[in-house]
Structure 1
């Protein structure tokens, strides 16, 4: 059900993860999306550890993640980055959910739902597109404004090549995306509780 990927942690598909969760306590599921994305829809029993916080405190988090861990994001890109960070901190037994929460939902797997919000990737497309459109329109009256559009295009190209997104990380810090409080102490407290989660599928 899982396969190794040379550039990152192993992956596990939706079927494999569901089987593990059904058979017993299963792996620890860490969702690295923003708190707002997590509140919108998440796998029952998952813990929310936003990617920026995970990167900053990976050594501390590693001490509370000794068992098997499955990392989840929207489609797999952020989870792969999180896996690389935790692997560098010495955490074994990491897997990334192949296709992320999108694949999980497409398979009709159990999901806890909350208030609908735009996911981070959609926000990036809106902001980048709006800046490019504004720059092109401004270039009619303001010489050089087209270079703003070029800079955004270059930034998106770099984001694709490096599998990171500076704009996404900045947007993730906005109050809209932070949702309820999601600080290190709260997360560590949740991770210390090793009792099985009642609402897991």
Structure 2
């Protein structure tokens, strides 16, 4: 494909070209915003490293029943409805790395944003949630 072919396509399909340009701009803006948001996604290996080297606090936002079925060893369960940056468990960990975990990575990303706005310095979330942890063949603990 050369530039002339691309110009011809754009002239023949202005709506598709406009949609493509709009999507490209949206992706670029999203990625730039992601770089500056202040909280970072972690993969399972990164979480393991933080737990082992920096005594990270792992907060699992799963429902109590899901938490009992399987959670990361040492994680603390806080229901999403009771999640508050001023919670005594969290307030004492403002200087520590705090990693938020949920079943699929959605609730933990939202909670990470709240912690960062509340002044926590090192905020992370497990990208993909417990599902990514299991996909990496890492163990889960059952019970409380």
TM over 0.5: yes
- When residues 9 and 24 of structure 1 are mapped into structure 2, their CA distance, relative to the original with a 3 A threshold, is closer
Given the alignment, which residue of 41, 61, 72 partners 1:11? 41
Given the alignment, which residue of 99, 103, 106 partners 2:132? 103
Match of 1:84 in 2: 113
Gaps of 5+ in 1: 115-179, 181-201
After superposition, residues 20-59 of structure 1 pair within 5 angstroms as: 20-21=50-51, 23-24=52-53, 26-54=55-83, 57-59=84-86
Q: What is the aligned length? A: 109
Given the alignment, which residue of 87, 95, 109 partners 1:60? 87
For structure 1, which segment, 33-42 or 23-32, has the greater mean C-alpha deviation from structure 2 after superposition?
A: 23-32
**TM-score relative to the length of structure 1:** 0.49
Q: Once superposed, what is the RMSD of the aligned Cα atoms?
A: 2.2
Instruction: Report deviation, 1:20.
Output: 3.2
Q: Give distance in 1, aligned partners of 2:46 and 2:91.
A: 26
Structure 1 residue runs of 4 or more that deviate by more than 4 Å after TM superposition: none
Paired residues of 1:31 and 1:72 also in contact (CA < 8 A): yes
Paired residues of 1:31 and 1:71 also in contact (CA < 8 A): yes
Match of 1:94 in 2: 123
Paired residues of 2:54 and 2:97 also in contact (CA < 8 A): no
Paired residues of 1:8 and 1:80 also in contact (CA < 8 A): no
Greater Rg over alpha carbons, structure: 2
Gaps of 5+ in 2: 1-32
